[in-house]
Amino acid sequence: MDKVLEKAQELRCLIEETSEYKEYLKNKELLENSKDVIELKHNIANLKAKGKLEEARNLEKLYNNHPLVNNYEASKDALYQLLKTIESIIK
């Protein structure tokens, strides 16, 4: 079992060195620290709480079209594809 855990740790380290993983982490941090994105999310939540669903949907469109959100989603998809490829090899 120690051998399996050792190999799993090696695989984790190799994944963390990939451009997909690094790009994902970079975009995640940018998204989480963006004042614009944070403000949009708060405004959407406030509008929903007030029952102003149409206005909330309009802001959600802005949120979903924000470049940081798009970059994050693209990098998340790329990392997911890498992990799915690894999974298919392991099976």
Is it the case that residue 1 has pLDDT exceeding 90?
no
The two three-digit tokens of residue 61, written as one number: 């469109």
Q: How many CB atoms sit inside 10 A of residue 79's CB?
A: 21
> What's the confidence (pLDDT) of residue 27?
98
> What's the confidence (pLDDT) of residue 83?
97
> What's the confidence (pLDDT) of residue 91?
85
- Phi and psi at residue 73, to the nearest 5°: -65, -40
Query: Tens digits of per-residue pLDDT, 4-20?
Result: 899 999 999 999 999 99
> What's the confidence (pLDDT) of residue 33?
97
The pTM of this model reads 0.86
Give me the residue spans of the domains in the chain.
18-90
Q: Distance (Å, rounded) from C-alpha 74 to C-alpha 42?
A: 23
Q: Distance (Å, rounded) from C-alpha 53 to C-alpha 86?
A: 41
Query: Tens digits of per-residue pLDDT, 21-78?
Result: 999 999 999 999 999 999 999 999 999 999 999 999 999 999 999 999 999 999 999 9
